Chains A and B, each alone.
Chain A
């Protein structure tokens, strides 16, 4: 932190002696009280990187335990805590904060604004989210769980009632789970409202909705989706706490409550949540793919329309997580169809990305490699998603390792790959330096190889009948060798992430100086300096097309002559 080039003092007036004199504590204080969207964006990214390492370590412990049948590295109780915390952390403390971090940093810059619409709400939301995360992890110290030996939540990240009732989950582990997510949920809602307000009201001159960069478009859609998905989860968690402490019986099957109500609530949140996580990944790919193949995005209006369609259709597919709870055949058929239909707009996106690449000049930098990995993996994830939507087949695959493999293909193969791509891409903007390409390529190849060793193999385990959430398995089931393979792949991914962490930290001091526009890109964030000044733009930019920098660089052949 000692020579942090991002500190406000340097940006505002680096020449005064006062700026040189500020102490470390003062700098820290400035980061805590900041309302600058760029600082908050960086805080979000650092916060989620920290929890990425934590939840990654939990995943590795899970894989060590499952490497051999009847392994005893973790007890059943500790294993259950780890898989619960791994899932909860990755979704709520890694996935969403990462994406909101990108949104915070990039959206105002891309639309030519000086900050978010509500800077104080922005800071408030971040600190709520951060408090929620640390509250969740405090449960390792603070809450006793099942049988008095547990302490962190151990009911699964889906926390199906009635396992969460006080009779089955005594102690306070489940309370920590619910309260921490309620708190971070409010933070998420605040940020979502903020992004919507910013995109609607803070765009610079000339930036009509249909000239907005696709990244901003998708974050707008994600924020609207967040508003309608987080709320049912928060409501259900309040109901759970009412059950546990105020004598409610919403989910208490012993007193006539219904487990199915919880399952519906959870997946009405849970399925759109997948799109909350994956649409920002699309958003990042939409920025990077055109720049690194030197072509405009193919079919911009179709991309916008497909994203809006996904938002609406994703609200009608939740019960495909419930094909085994005993719905009627008509309901099963309905949710099979609605789920398959998501494949149509998603397919349009993949085709449009390929068409964008077609005829381009593709530069295989680390950031582009991660996007290409994303394209292949997301294609496979989409196709296994079609398989799971086939409800009779889902009766076999549900809650098996096939499902684990499928959603890790989405959440790692698509979302995490795009997050890495986004970090390699915008790191230069936020720090003024480039991340090391050689280390980046090591990171990419090790991570991709490890990813495929782990998750390709998991599909087979699911077909061979291995259910999820089990802390050990019998040696006679024929799963032993494949599990060892999965664990080895996990280890390789772990090494890759450590290389990334090293690169991420060291490039801050030793990275090549980036300049304002290292990738020869086209959106507004690349017009300002790296890192941008606190006020972002000296004067309000004015745009005439979707690619304002293209127009500047090619005054003889500007985009606005062609855009419809």
Chain B
């Protein structure tokens, strides 16, 4: 009888949990980086754990909240109350012992379940086939390095999809060049902080190709809100094609030599790298294949020629507080350098 009732309560708790979770899911559509739509093993494990926790806490809420509501209703003061004060009760050792022991038992259950998932995710062995990516946080953009491929890119991470036939995990090493940041793609994994002088790790093995959105989750200064993050989960063919392109040096196009000269004669090259040229700056994002990215300035705007030109002319238009200075170029120089950058496919 007792267990039946307990089971029914857990069911009711789970039902409420599901209702709450799915109703928030319905409100959100499209590109929402929802924690409720996991697409990778760690995110899935967390989600399943969260449903269990919501079922237990939801059950507690229904019982205790219901008891409180009942008490308030049943013992409201009424005109028909007899004169004088109600019976005074000072306590009861048995009852108090009961509601100390029961919560302790619940804590034990919750803790053991949680501990299992902590170790499963955090101490998961790294398969030797895993892709390594180093993520470096900068004030207000992301640097991604693929050490085995000698590729450096920014803001848009490409990783291969994982299938049961060909499991592919991506292991990230995370650190920071300046202040603290936090890497968070809710559908793929929980967040991990990027801290200078301190290397963290995390992993994910996305099961479905596509674009996953996220953003910096640790306040890092003026433009923390515009430190957006895109992760493309590619099929093996897409990933190989993308990687091959990234490994090439920047294409050289003689029609835009003027723009290239501007880039190399002005201060641009102090901060940016374009491989195969004299530009080897490391302070800003690597621009070798700028046109392979869908957005500029860490997702602040779409990568269109007009946006690119305006960004070079005045970064404040999109992202006031970004560390890129306005370069004070003439209109002609702006056109030239924009045309040059547009060739960096």
Interfacial residues, chain A to chain B (CB-CB below 8 A): 75-77, 80, 146-147, 154-156, 160, 162-163, 168, 253-254, 256-260, 293-296, 298-302, 324-326, 328-329, 332-333, 336-337, 340-341, 343-344, 347-348, 350-352, 354-355, 357-364, 372, 375-376, 379-380, 383-384, 386-387, 390-400, 460, 463-465, 467-474, 476-479, 481-482, 554, 559, 562-564
Contacts and interface: CB of A to CB of B under 8 A. Distances in A.
Interface of B: 21, 24, 27-36, 42-43, 45-46, 49-50, 53-54, 57-58, 60-61, 64-65, 67-68, 71-72, 75-78, 81, 85-92, 95-96, 99-100, 103-104, 107, 110-111, 114-115, 117-119, 121-123, 139, 176, 178-180, 182, 184, 186, 189-193, 195-198, 200-201, 213-226, 228, 299, 320-321
Nearest to A387: B53
A564 B139 CA distance: 62
Nearest to B139: A168
Contact of B50 (A147, A343, A390): A390
Contacts of A258: 197-198
Given A392-B190, A395-B191, A329 B86 contact: no
Contacts of B221: 80, 146, 163, 168
Question: Which of B36, B95, B104, B218 gathers the greatest number of chain A CB atoms within 10 Å?
Answer: B218
Contact of B186 (A254, A396, A472): A396
A301 B93 CA distance: 10
B118 A332 contact: yes
Contacts of A376: 65, 68
Given A163-B180, A259-B198, A354-B71, A393 B57 contact: no
Given A256-B197, A329-B122, A393-B53, A467 B217 contact: yes
Contact of A396 (B90, B191, B200): B191
B228 to A, nearest CB: 7
Contact of A477 (B32, B91, B117): B32
Contacts of B216: 467
A300 B90 contact: yes
B68 A390 contact: no
Contacts of B72: 357, 362, 372
B213 A259 contact: no
A257 B58 CA distance: 44
A168 B179 contact: yes
Max count, chain B CB within 10 A of own CB: residue among A328, A340, A476: A340
Contacts of A399: 182, 184, 191, 217-218
B118 A476 contact: no
A348 B100 contact: yes
Given A168-B178, A396-B46, A467-B216, A387 B32 contact: no
B27 A482 contact: yes
Contacts of A563: 90
A333 B184 contact: no
B111 A340 contact: yes
A384 B184 CA distance: 21
Contacts of A380: 61
A253 B137 CA distance: 14
A336 B191 contact: no
Contacts of B107: 337, 340-341, 343-344
Contacts of A358: 71, 75
Nearest to B50: A393
B276 to A, nearest CB: 31
Contact of A259 (B180, B201, B217): B180
Given A359-B87, A395-B190, A477-B31, A162 B196 contact: yes
Contact of A360 (B86, B119, B186, B191): B86
Contacts of A328: 122
A362 B321 contact: no
Given A347-B100, A465-B32, A471-B225, 15 more contacts: A76-B226, A160-B179, A160-B218, A162-B196, A253-B197, A259-B198, A324-B182, A333-B114, A361-B76, A384-B57, A390-B114, A392-B42, A397-B35, A463-B35, A464-B33
Contacts of B21: 463
A75 B320 CA distance: 9
